[in-house]
Amino acid sequence: MKIATWNVNSLKVRLPHVTEWLATNRPDALCLQELKLEDKAFPEAELEAVGYRSVFNGQKTYNGVAILSPHAMTDIVRDIPGFDDVQRRIIAATIGDVRIVCGYFPNGQAVGSEKFAYKMRWLEALTVWLREEMKSHPRLVLTGDFNVAPQPRDAHPDWKDEIHVSEPEREAFRALEQLGLEDVFRRFDQDDASYSWWDYRMGAFRRNFGLRIDHVLATKALAERCSACIIDKAPRRLERPSDHAPVVAQFDL
């Protein structure tokens, strides 16, 4: 089972990239973030045309998440249960016996800001919910744009901002790991300076000035069956790219 995540930074703009990528890579699930469109504008038919069904949780202008799959998806959950939030950042679905949770984690803007406080509250609520969710789903994947670079090697050494690399954010990431979720990217040898996001400015992609903030975490039962995890930089080289690259994990079930 191939599971991928991609922050597309506007599904409207990136739809040609997404359909092309699906046709080439044929994942069993593609989790999308930052749709930036309302549900009524979701391009269901265009994705159907390349063989993918969609479940989505969108909003105007900001946020918005979706899961695309050629398979049936059941038990759809939108938003973190019990967490009052107008921002559409979570969608979950079950494919076979694998529970997939797709998240667009808050950015946080700056350590100490109002938005940072929201980010930390959101992370706590997610962790509380997943602890329960994992009890009924031994095979669970948490994937998406975490907006956290979990370790020093996941950020370019010259990244000077605190946001995405601060200790509270990294502690929250570790709390997810302590639930029993593993960052499967690190099961394998990877290039030094492996990143999944590069700023549009300053020729950041060309200079590989980036962050690894898009992740695939899996429960032990799944992680031990993971046979590959890569960052696919090809779409970042296209005309009008998303600033994020897809991350792809293969599970041999």
Partner DNA sequence: ATGGCAACTAGAAGTTGA
* Residues designated as active site: 104, 145, 244
- Cα gap 101→76, rounded to integer Å: 10
Least spacing, CB of residue 204 vs DNA, in Å: 8
Candidate residues 40, 135, 201, 206; the one interacting with DNA per rule CB under 7 A = 201
- For residues 102 and 73, the answer to whether their CB atoms sit within 8 Å is no
Binding part of the chain for DNA, among 50-58, 103-111, 167-175, 220-228 by CB under 7 A, reads: 103-111
For the chain, how are helix, strand and coil distributed in percent, rounded to 5? Answer: 30, 30, 45
Least spacing, CB of residue 180 vs DNA, in Å: 26
Least spacing, CB of residue 213 vs DNA, in Å: 6
Least spacing, CB of residue 199 vs DNA, in Å: 7
Give yes or no for residue 20 binding DNA (CB under 7 A).
Answer: no
Give yes or no for residue 69 binding DNA (CB under 7 A).
Answer: no
- For residues 74 and 81, the answer to whether their CB atoms sit within 8 Å is no
**C-beta closer to DNA: residue 65 or 98:** 65
- For residues 250 and 2, the answer to whether their CB atoms sit within 8 Å is yes
84 has binding-site annotation: no
Give yes or no for residue 25 binding DNA (CB under 7 A).
Answer: no
- Cα gap 241→5, rounded to integer Å: 15
One-character DSSP codes across 44-96? HHHHHTTT-EEEEE--SSS--EEEEESS--EEEEES-TT---SS--EEEEEET
**C-beta closer to DNA: residue 57 or 94:** 57
Candidate residues 7, 57, 94, 143; the one interacting with DNA per rule CB under 7 A = 7
25 has binding-site annotation: no
**C-beta closer to DNA: residue 135 or 240:** 240
Q: Which 210-239 residues touch DNA, going by CB under 7 A?
A: 211, 213
One-character DSSP codes across 101-152? EEEE-----STTSHHHHHHHHHHHHHHHHHHHHHHH-SSEEEEEE-----SG
Radius of gyration of the chain (CA): 17
243 has binding-site annotation: yes
Query: Tokens 């050629």 sit at which residue?
Result: 70
Give yes or no for residue 123 binding DNA (CB under 7 A).
Answer: no
- Cα gap 4→215, rounded to integer Å: 9
φ, ψ for residue 149, nearest 5 deg:
-95, 105
7 has binding-site annotation: yes
Residues within the interface to DNA (CB under 7 A): 7, 9-10, 12-13, 34, 36-37, 60-62, 106-107, 109-110, 115, 145, 147, 161, 163-164, 197, 199-202, 211, 213, 240, 243
Annotated binding site for Mg(2+): 7, 34, 145, 147, 243-244
